[in-house]
Amino acid sequence: MTASDLRAWQARHSYTYNTAAEALGMGRTTFAEYLKREGQLPRWLALACAAVDAGLLPVGDSASASAA
């Protein structure tokens, strides 16, 4: 995943910087920094975006525990 891919992910979800950062569990400033990077972004970030795409909740989230 590159910054361009991250921007495309953000656009697909119609996320603002704030809502994208919240969905990924990071601050707005951190999200903005990833959008400025060159080259490959960390694999965990691509996986987090895929998890959001799939509608997955974080492990240990109270909503996911009640669904089990």
For the chain, the structural domain boundaries read: 3-59
CA atoms of 68 and 66, how far apart (whole Å): 5
Q: CA angle, 56 as apex, 29 and 59 as ends, to 5°?
A: 85
- 13 DSSP assignment: T
CA atoms of 27 and 31, how far apart (whole Å): 6
Architecture of domain 3-59: Orthogonal Bundle (1.10)
Q: Which amino acid is at 64?
A: S
| pTM recorded for the entire structure | 0.85
What Rg do the C-alpha atoms of the chain give, in angstroms? 13
Residue 58 is predicted with a pLDDT of 87
pLDDT in tens, 11-24: 999 999 999 999 99
Mean pLDDT of 29-54: 97
